[in-house]
Structure 1
């Protein structure tokens, strides 16, 4: 639940007075034109940007962990280590973020990258890099997924895979916040963001 969130970056107010509630198993789409703060809001929830006002909390989560420690953030950059193999990248994230419900090889299978497991990540196309980044969601179980334009560089089949992952996460009680300009075929509520006054 979030109330009265405000964010200031680079000396300007990005957004103010933003509030929302996402329940277990729900998906919230962040919509609005470029520059209204969709990415900044996701980064704020992820703990990467400070809020200048408001409150945000995860109810029903692990009380020993902060909200950012219970969230996966997939942003514009794919956070891949190019010299490591595809499989080594996932193992790295699994070790860093904690054990997940899916073993790295199975996560690669889920996103259609198992044939590339031993290839260096720098050899991947933009769409393959995006799929590798999304496979990270499966390698460390987190109740909150924060996805910033997740369909970027994905072909139709890969988009369907992504939608399936998000639906499965929701069915398992997970929460997803997704910033997008696309019409996603997901049962989602929308939060229309506007420029700060």
Structure 2
């Protein structure tokens, strides 16, 4: 599902509510027919949130960021990260502090999580920000793979999706004064 609408319409706010980071003024977000605030730990295990900001530590290298993310998320075995970094165009940059990378390269470091996570629900706020055309295409390819395995994606983007996704639903939010 894609959330569309102009800046200020509430897309990011809605994503934050769905992720459980903010509380709605009315209603509730349900997971397995239960409010997420009552079962947040179980819900969070099925959720991967990547916000508009990359959420990477700029003092660490790409490899260190990914290893840290794996560790804090309870992954016991560290996969070979180099093939994933290579696919994302980060070969030769894996040991460079993230602060030295371009905005697009920093985004790619954050997006490595999409190749490593086994979460069913991905909540993504502007995932294409700072990516070039090949990065956008590759990311959309990954979306298709995730959807084919029964995963779900809720995202915002100001860019048009260039890949056709069966069952894509778009909800357009309107800005109200």
User: TM-score, normalization: structure 1?
Assistant: 0.77
Match of 1:191 in 2: 171
CA distance in 1, matches of 2:78, 2:3: 27
Match of 1:67 in 2: 43
Q: Deviations over 1:94-140 (max 9, x none)?
A: 11123389643333233221331111111110000011111122223
SS in 2 for 1:146: strand
Alignment pair present for 1:158 and 2:135: yes
Matches within 5 A, 1:4-19: none
CA distance in 2, matches of 1:147, 1:101: 24
Alignment length (residue pairs)? 168
**Mean alpha-carbon deviation: is it higher for 122-131 or for 76-85?**
76-85
Alignment pair present for 1:132 and 2:124: no
SS in 2 for 1:142: coil
Q: CA deviation at 1:144?
A: 0.6
User: TM-score, normalization: structure 2?
Assistant: 0.85
SS in 2 for 1:133: helix
Cα RMSD (Å): 2.3
Q: Deviations over 1:24-82 (max 9, x none)?
A: xxxx000111111101111111111111221222339xx89432332111111111111
**Structure 2: any 5+ residue segments left out of the alignment?**
34-38
Match of 1:40 in 2: 13
Match of 1:29 in 2: 2
**Structure 1: any 5+ residue segments left out of the alignment?**
1-27
Match of 1:118 in 2: 95
Distance 1:70 1:196, change over 3 A: farther
SS in 2 for 1:116: coil
Alignment pair present for 1:89 and 2:65: yes
Q: Deviations over 1:176-197 (max 9, x none)?
A: 0011121102412101112468
* Structure with the larger strand share: 1
CA distance in 2, matches of 1:73, 1:82: 19
